[in-house]
A and B are shown apart, each in its own frame.
Chain A
């Protein structure tokens, strides 16, 4: 099958799925191996980036998703009547940053780093599905361990957790 045609099929699948589609599902449908599907999707991602479209292709871990371009969010809200989501509070952002860089991590570790209680921030992040419990630490009390979700990656435009910039210490302030 020609590459152009395979891309068209993959595009149709992404449209129907809405959710991120794993590369291996695309490979299965097209009857090609996963590496070939991966490079096909990367080509398609570039093609989308070059064209002045309202949609773009994003990668989240090993899956691809069709989403609208962020610069047109305002028009989508105008059309749907939706309101813009409230940005996260600073407490939540700090907590989320600590979890993102140290996962899996316990509440005690987070509180040690921030110097304050984090129950509320953790509850909000769980509710928003940005973090989740990923297990329990084998230590007295078996404290819960937290990690980030795929929604976290998507919400912050990250393809995978390694896309986070290195934690750097800027001198002074």
Chain B
């Protein structure tokens, strides 16, 4: 018969100790330190034999256990009237009890999660404000034709006129402003591509500010971004962003 070793994975020294206590079928209060220490050391040496890295926390606990065990073997000096030192065994028991509470609470959370992760909600609806739309109800064919003619005229005259040289100053846009704009957009649409945010002929500065705004939003946990490979489009999805953030 082959030698079988099966090591369970523990979340830390406290977790391991709780396991050993449960295996021994005793209450946390009644732990026998010498027995538990032996089993604890046993586990560590099994890990060592299997060449598993032992986290330093496990070593600290080993030292604590040995300390408690050794101090029990030695005769205690008669306590002077000075403040009594806290009993390390009692301290350990307290820690184990505390830890167990949160371990159980974690289990409870897990069970809730299994139920409630089945619950879905929808993204906010995009309700378009149509009040400012142009009204076309009274427009006739003639109106359209006339407008077209006027436009063509304008184009012709502007072509004839002299070339004017002007310096176009970059429009200053603040990062804060751009974040607000993007937040409003993303809270409505849910997802958007980066190329859509800078699709028109924006200046380089504008693109840079947009990108910085995006980084800031990622940092705030408002959106999640994905890029399948370098230089490809960036997919932006709403994550933690709320209506109130976008206002």
What residues of B have a CB within 8 angstroms of the CB of A138 in the complex?
none
Contacts A113-B98, A115-B14, A172-B26 given; does A73 touch B123 at CB 8 Å:
no
Distance in angstroms between the alpha carbons of A161 and B103 in the assembled complex? 18
Shortest Cβ distance from residue A77 to the other chain B in the assembled complex, whole angstroms: 9
Q: Tell whether B136 is near chain A: CB-to-CB under 8 Å.
A: no
Among residues of A, the one whose C-beta sits closest to the C-beta of B116 is A157
Beta-carbon contacts of B37-71 to A below 8 Å, as 1s and 0s? 00000000000000000010100010000000000
Distance in angstroms between the alpha carbons of A88 and B103 in the assembled complex? 13
Distance in angstroms between the alpha carbons of A71 and B119 in the assembled complex? 8
What residues of A have a CB within 8 angstroms of the CB of B128 in the complex?
none
Could you say which interface size class chain B belongs to?
35 or more
- Do A168 and B101 touch across chains, with their CB atoms under 8 A apart? yes
Could you say which interface size class chain A belongs to?
35 or more
Q: Tell whether B207 is near chain A: CB-to-CB under 8 Å.
A: no
Contacts A16-B127, A19-B242, A101-B105 given; does A171 touch B120 at CB 8 Å:
no
> What residues make up the interface of B, taking CB atoms closer than 8 Å to A?
11-15, 18, 21-22, 25-28, 55, 57, 61, 95, 97-110, 112-125, 127, 221, 239-240, 242-243
18 cross-chain CB contacts under 8 A: A15-B125, A16-B125, A19-B121, A19-B243, A58-B119, A69-B119, A71-B118, A73-B118, A94-B106, A96-B106, A114-B14, A115-B95, A154-B116, A155-B113, A169-B101, A171-B27, A173-B21, A173-B100
3 closest residue pairs by CB, A with B: A73-B118, A116-B12, A93-B106
